Amino acid sequence: MNKNLKLLVSVSLFLCVSALSLVVASKDARATEKLNVLFIAADDMNCDLGAYGHPLVQTPNLDRLRKMGVRFDSAYCQQPLCGPSRASIMTGLRPDTLDMHTLKHELRQKNPNVVTLGQLFRNQGYYSARAGKIYHYGNPSMIGTDGNDDPATWDDRFNPIGIDRSQQEKITRYGTGQSKNKNLGISMAWWDPQSRDEEHTDGMVASKIVDLIKQKKDEPFFLAAGFFNPHCPYVAPRKYFDLYPLDKIGMPDLEAAKRDLEDVPAIAIQRDMRNWPYYFKGVTVDQARKCKQAYFATLSFVDAQVGRLLDALEENQLMDNTVIVFWSDHGYFLGEKGLWYKHKAFERSARMPLIIAAPGLSQGTHTTKPVELLDVYPTLADLCGLEPPANLEGQSLRPLLTDPIGKDWKKPAVTQIWHHRKAWGYSMRTDRYRFTEWLEGRAGRELYDHSNDPNEITNLANDPQHAQRVAELSSQLAKYVKMKPHKR
C-alpha cells in the first residue's frame, strides 16, 4: 500500500471514529437532557370541545395539541369543586387523604410536609413558576391576588388582572338575587366587549407564560398557565361570541329533563332543585341559551391562548423536549337535566378534558380507559425521570401514552362529593359503568350503563336484575371511602 493510500485510509478511519463519537455524545446528551413541562389549566371546562368531537365548538389549538399527543376520553376529577380538585392534582393525593373538601385555604395547614408537583420539580433544579389560577382562587373575586396559592410550589408567581375583573360592573346578570353588588363566582352572567385578548386576564396569563418560555428556554422549567375561563361570569372578546349564533345553540327540553331526575336519589341534587331549572329563580330558557353561547365563546377564547403557548414553544425550538399537559379541574352542566354548574356526581360534572403530549410517545390518538387527575403527578415525575413521594395515590399514565388501548389498565376512577356532614357520596367510573353511593348507600345508589346510556338517563341501581353488579361495585368502591370521622 503506498503512502498516499495509507494516509487516506487513516484519515477516513479518523473521520468515522470522530463522527461515531459525536453521534454517541449527542445521544448521551439527549438522554441526560431534562424535559421541560408546560402545565396548562382551564377552570370549569367540560368536554364540549371540537377537540373532543363537539360539532359546534371551535377549538383548533386543542385539536392541534391532540394531534401531538394522547386525548384521554375518560378522565375524571377527584371532586367536582375547584379547591379540593386542584389540591389533589397538585399533590397526587385524594381529598380524604388531604382532609380537604371545601374551598378553604388549608393545604399547608393540614398537610405541612406535602411535596407538591411544582415543588418536586423545583427541588430538582427546575425553574417553577405560574401565571394565573392553579390552586383555588375565588373567581373572579380573587383575580389579581395570590388566592389560595402555595408559595413553596413556585420560584415566581404572577397575578394579572384584566377588564373581566376590573370592569365587571358591565357584566349582564340573570336570575333573581343577582344584584350589581353580588359576587359573580356563582352566576348566570356574561359580557362580550369589543376588546383585544390581551385586555383580559387570560390573555395576560398567556402573555406572561410566553415571556417566561423565551426567558427560560435554556434551562429546565415547569411553567403553569392557569386560565380562569370558562368559569362564570362568561366574559370574552366579542369575536368569540360571533362564532356561535344563538339560533345554533340547542337547549334540552325541560319536561324530558325533569323526567331524567325522577329516579335519582334526592341527596344527589338537593342543591340544584331549590330553584330548578338553571339554579337561579326566574332564568328563562333563552337566557340560559345566551349563557351557553357565552360559555362556548370562552372555550374558544381559552383555545386561542393555548395556541399562543404552543407557538412560543415552536418558535423557541422547545417542542422536542417539553411535556405538555392540558387539563381542567372538573366538568360542567349547561342545562342538561335542567342543571347548571358542577358539584354533582354525574358524568358531565366529574369528567373533564385531559390531553398529554410527550416527546417520543404516542401522537394523534386517544384512550377510553378511566383515568384520574391524581394520575398526572406520578406521570410527570415518571416522564421527567424524577423520584416522586412514596405516598402518591395515582399511577403513571406512561402505559397509556405508549399503548392507548391499555389492555392491562384496570384501575377505576373515583370522584367524591361533599356538601356537609350529612350529605356526601362517592362515585366510581369503570370502563362500562358509573356507580354512586350516597352515605355509603344509606341515602341511595345510582348505576348507569354507559355502553347504552351515555347521558345517564336510567338509574339501574334498584333493578333486581342488577343486584349482583351493584353488590360487586359497592364492594369495590368501599376501599376508597376514607373520609375522616369529623367530616361524616
Max distance between CA atoms of the chain, in angstroms, equals 100
Q: Is 54 a catalytic residue?
A: no
Residues 6+ apart with CB under 8 A from 345: 80, 268, 415, 417, 425, 427, 436, 446
- Between CA 484 and CA 488 the distance in angstroms is 7
What whole-number distance in Å separates Cα of residue 91 and Cα of residue 107?
A: 10
DSSP designation for 324 = E
CB under 8 Å to 295, separation ≥6 — which residues? 48, 230, 234, 332, 334
DSSP per position, 149-195: --GGG-SEEE----HHHHTGGG-EEESTT--TTS-SSS-EEEE--S-
- Centroid of chain to Cα 93: 16
Q: What is the CA radius of gyration of the chain?
A: 24
Name the 3-class secondary structure at 454. coil
Helices (H), 171-284: 201-215, 238-241, 254-260
124 touches 386 (CB < 8 A):
yes
Ramachandran angles phi, psi of 396, nearest 5°: -60, 135
Catalytic pick among 47, 77, 82, 232: 82
| 16 classed as catalytic | no
Q: Which of 136, 200, 231, 343 is catalytic?
A: 136
Which of 409, 191, 187 has its CA nearest to residue 294? 191
Q: Which three cell numbers stand for residue 317?
A: 425550538
Contacts of 50 (CB under 8 A, 6+ apart): 57, 58, 59, 60, 62, 63
The helix, strand and coil proportions of the chain, stated in percent and rounded to the nearest 5, come to 40, 20, 45
Look up residue 351 and give its DSSP letter.
B
Kindly report the number of other CB atoms within 10 A of residue 334's CB atom.
21
Q: With contact defined as beta carbons under 8 Å apart, do 100 and 83 qualify?
A: yes
Give the separation between CA 442 and CA 428, rounded to whole angstroms: 17
The DSSP-derived string for 387-453 is ---TT--S---HHHHH-TT-TT----EEEEEEEETTEEEEEEE-SSEEEEEEGGGTT-EEEEETTT-
Residues known to be catalytic? 82, 136
